[in-house]
Amino acid sequence: MILRIFRIPTLCHQQSPNYHWIIFLAILAGGLFSDKLLAHNGAIAYAYPIEGITVDGNLDEWPLDLMQYPIEFVGVGVPATDGADLKAHFRVGYNKGLNTIYIAMEITDQSIMMDTSSFVNWDTHDGVELYIDPDHLDKASSITQYSDYAQKRLTFGAKKSWQGVDLKMKQTQTGRTYEWSIQLDKSLNPGLAIGMDLSVIDKDQDDSYSWVSWGKYAQKLNSATRCGDLVLLEKNTELVDVSGALELSELLSSSSAFPVRFTSQTYPKLQLRTSNDSTGAYKITLPSGNYLLDIPEELLNIDDEFYQIAPNQAVEFTASANAAEAPVLTPRQIVGPDLTPEIGILNNFEASQSDLVDQFIETYRKFYSIPGVSLALIKEGKVVYHQTYGVKSTQTNEPVTDETLFEAASITKPVFGFVVLRLAEKGVIDLDKPLYQYLPFEALEVTPEYKKMTARHVLIHQSGLPNWGVPLVRAPGLEYGYSGEGFEYLKRVVCKITGKDIEQLLDEEVISPLKLYHMEFKDSEELRKVAAIGHQGGDPTNWPIPGEPGMAHSMHTEAYAFSRFAIALLEERGLKPETYSELEKIHTLSPAEYWDSPEYPEGAGLGVHVRTSPFGNVIGHGGNNGDFKCLFEVYQELDMGYVVFTNSNLGDQLAMDLAKFLVEGSGVAETAER
C-alpha cells in the first residue's frame, strides 16, 4: 500500500498564526515516523533517596556523587556556540517520606536575558520548563508544564496548579542555578517510573534563541512519547550498562530506530525503552536484575509505504556486571491493509454492504492507530450510510457519537467560499475588484503589488501570499500558492463591506439557506463538551479551539451534518448555474507531483479543490490541522460521494484509500458500468 502525497497535504495546513504558541507546537512536532519510540523518548534518569534539601537555589547541600544528566537536545532555534554560551545539566533525588522529588539544575550562560513585561512568551527570554507526567502511561498521559516565567499563569494547557511545586532560582557569576521540589499525590516507592523532562530556553543579545531539552523531541505537552523516564531506586541499587543489537532485514535496515523494551521482573510495572542506531546496535543503562526483552508494536513509514512492527516473543535477560550483553532480537514487519475491491462498493451499494464499510474503516483505523472517525456515504442526493467509530480521546476513551464534532480544518474554506460567491451574486462584492479598495492590508503596504489581489485570486489560490504570514511571496494572479492567510484577509474584507460579523454572514448565506446544522466556528463551553480531541501518533494534543472564527481552518462539524453541504454542491443548489460553472472549473493547477495521476490534472476551483478522474470531475476539499485530517469529495457524473473526519494526524492514510474502496476500485472500469 503506497502512500500517495495528494489532496490533503496539498490543501490544508496548520491553524491560524494568531495562536502564536500553537505554531510553536506545530514546529516542534517533528517527524512522527523517522525516530519515534512507541512510548517515552529514550532518556532515563535514576533518582536515589536524599534528605536535607532546602529549596532556595543554593545547591551546597546536594550530594556530589549523584549522576549529572546533560540538557543538550536542541529542539528549536540555534545550537549554542560553545559551553560558555549555554551548558546545562541536572541532578535528581527523592524523599519517600515527603513524597517529594528534588531537582537541581545548573546552567552556564554568558548572555542572561530576562523579560519583565506583563506577558512573557516562550521565545522572549531566558527560562526553564519542567514537564511532569505522574501516571507515565504508554499513551494519553496528562502532562503538566511548569516554568519559571509563568508561575502566576500556567502555560499552554497545563492542567494543575503550582500547589505542591516549588522553584527557586539563584544567579551565579557564570549563569543560574534552579532548584525544584515536586510533591506528588502518590507513594514514591522504588521501581516507580515517572514521566519527566526539562528544557532550557536561552535568549541571546543578538535576538537568537535555543530551546534545549534533556530528552529527545521538543513538544512535550500531552504526549507520553516525548517525556523521559525518571526511575526511583533504592539507595544502593547497582546500575549496569547494557548493549545489544537487532537483526534487521534489508528493508528495515534502511529505516530508522526501533523501540526495544525492557520489562523489570523485580518491578513489573517498570518498563524502560531504548532504540537502535543505523547498524542495529543499542545501549541502555539498567538497574541490575531480571528482565523480559521485546520489541513493542510500532508503525513505520519506509519510502512512502507503511509497515507495522509486530511484537516478538519476549525473551528473558539478566542485567549484571557479568552479563551486560542482551540477546539479539529480530523485528517482524507487517504490510499495511489493502481492502480495495475491483469496483468501488458505493457504485452498487446496498444496506447489507455496511459491514464491508465498517470492516474497512476499523481495519485501517486500528492499523494506523486513528482514535476516532465520522463517516457519511452519499448517493443520488442522500446519505445512504452513516457511522461513527472509535473514541473522542485516547485519554478518556469516550466514544465518538453522532453529536461528536471534529475539526474540519481547511474544509472550512469551501463553506466560506460559498458565502463569498453568494455575496458576489448579490453585487455586494466584485470578485475581480482589488481587495485593498475595500479594505487595505496594512502589513502588505511595503509590497505595493498586493494591490492587484482580488477575491477571485484568493479563492483560486493565486493571492501571492504564503500559507500564513506576510509579505507576498509572488505577485497576485500568477501561479498556484496555497494560502490560508488570503482567506483570512478576504474574511475581513467581507465583514467590512457588509458591516456584519462573519458568523452572521455564515448563517445568512450558507447555514440557513442550505438548512445546515452542527457547524461551529469558535470556542464555547457547549462546543468543548462535544468536540473530539486531536491526536499525534495516537497521543492526544488537547490543543485549544480557536477563540475567533477562522475562515481558513476553524469549523467544527461531523460527517452526517456536513454531507448536506456536500450534497448541495453535487446538486448545484444555492448558487446560480453560471456560478457553479466557474466553481467547478480548474482555474489554477496545483503542483503535478500532488496529482493522483499525470493524466488527470488537479487544482483550485472557486473555493474548492477540483480533480479530474476516469469517472469525471471530482469536487471536494481536504483538511489538515496537524492533529485532525479529513476529506470530502463528490463525483458529479456518478452522483455519489463521501465525507470522512478523523481526529488523527494519520487520518489521511485512511482517507486516501477510501475513494478507491468506495468509488474508483482497484482498476479503471468504464463509467457506464457503474
The beta strands (E) that lie in 137-216 are given as 144-147, 165-171, 175-183, 193-203, 209-213
Which grid cell is 460?
483560486
Selected residue with higher pLDDT from 41 and 639: 639
Instruction: Report strand pairing: 44-49 vs 87-95.
Output: parallel
Predicted pLDDT at 540? 85
Predicted pLDDT at 565? 98
Structural domains of the chain in order of their starting residue, each with its CATH number: 7-14+338-412+515-673 (3.40.710.10), 31-232 (2.60.40.1190), 239-335 (2.60.40.1120)
Is pLDDT of 110 > 60? Answer: yes
**Residue pointed to by grid coordinates 539544575:** 105
pLDDT-derived band at 391 (thresholds 50, 70, 90) equals very high
pLDDT-derived band at 480 (thresholds 50, 70, 90) equals very high
The beta strands (E) that lie in 43-148 are given as 44-49, 69-70, 73-77, 87-95, 100-108, 127-133, 144-147
CA distance 40 to 231: 13
Lowest mean pLDDT among 149-153, 545-549, 644-648: 149-153
pLDDT-derived band at 83 (thresholds 50, 70, 90) equals low
**Which residues fall within 8 angstroms of residue 582, CB to CB, at 6 or more apart?**
605, 606
Predicted pLDDT at 43? 92
pLDDT-derived band at 256 (thresholds 50, 70, 90) equals low
Lowest mean pLDDT among 152-161, 231-240, 349-358, 526-535: 152-161
Which grid cell is 375?
463517516
Is pLDDT of 7 > 60? Answer: no
Q: How far is CA 29 from the centre of its chain?
A: 7
Q: What is the pTM of this model?
A: 0.80
Predicted pLDDT at 37? 37
Which 8-state DSSP code applies to residue 320?
A: B
Which grid cell is 521?
466556528
CA angle 500, 608, 1 (to 5 degrees): 140
Which 8-state DSSP code applies to residue 252?
A: H
Maximum average pLDDT range among 155-164, 371-380, 467-476, 660-669? 371-380
Predicted pLDDT at 420? 98
Which 8-state DSSP code applies to residue 246?
A: B
Predicted pLDDT at 124? 62
Predicted pLDDT at 157? 37
Lowest mean pLDDT among 60-74, 117-131, 279-293, 639-653: 117-131
pLDDT-derived band at 24 (thresholds 50, 70, 90) equals very low
pLDDT mean over 155-182: 78
User: Nearest to residue 547, comparing CAs of 562, 529, 528?
Assistant: 528
Predicted pLDDT at 398? 96
Predicted pLDDT at 140? 61
> How many Cα atoms within 13 Å fall on the side-chain side of residue 446?
5
Lowest mean pLDDT among 5-14, 375-384, 614-623, 639-648: 5-14
Alpha helices (H) along 29-184: none
pLDDT mean over 629-650: 96
Q: Please give the order of strands across the beta sheet that includes 588-589.
A: 382-390, 372-379, 640-646, 629-635, 618-624, 609-611, 602-604, 588-589
- Give the chain's mean pLDDT: 86
Q: What is the DSSP string of 437-482?
A: GTS--GGGTTSGGGGG-BHHHHHTT-S---SSSSS-SS-TTSS---
CA distance 503 to 521: 8
Calculate the dihedral angle through the C-alpha atoms of 22, 28, 32, 37, rounding to the nearest 10 degrees: -120
Distances from the Cα of 296 to the Cα of 271, 315, 492, angstroms = 11, 13, 50
Amino acid at 267: Y
pLDDT mean over 321-334: 84
Phi-psi region of 438 (alpha: psi -120 to 50; beta: other; left: phi over 0): alpha
Q: Is 501 exposed, middle or buried (0-12, 13-18, 19+ CB in 10 A)?
A: exposed
Q: How far is CA 103 from the centre of its chain?
A: 30
Phi-psi region of 330 (alpha: psi -120 to 50; beta: other; left: phi over 0): beta
CA distance 577 to 392: 40
Predicted pLDDT at 126? 78
pLDDT-derived band at 672 (thresholds 50, 70, 90) equals very low
**Which residues fall within 8 angstroms of residue 62, CB to CB, at 6 or more apart?**
50, 53, 91, 93, 104
> How many Cα atoms within 13 Å fall on the side-chain side of residue 668?
7
Q: Report the percent of the chain where pLDDT is more than 90.
A: 61
Q: Give strand pairing partners of 140.
A: none
Q: Is the dihedral of CA 302, 307, 311, 312 positive or negative?
A: negative
pLDDT tens digit sequence for 190-220: 999 999 999 998 877 777 788 899 998 777 7
Instruction: Give the phi and the psi of residue 413 in degrees, each rounded to 5.
Output: -60, -50
**Which residues fall within 8 angstroms of residue 12, CB to CB, at 6 or more apart?**
409, 410, 411, 553, 621, 622, 623, 624, 625
Composition of the chain by helix, strand, coil, percent to 5: 20, 30, 50
Selected residue with higher pLDDT from 443 and 543: 443
pLDDT mean over 228-254: 87
Q: What crossing angle do the helices spanning 484-498 and 412-425 adopt, rounded to 10°? A: 40
CA distance 38 to 47: 24
Amino acid at 512: S
Q: Decide if 49 contacts 33 (C-beta within 8 A).
A: no
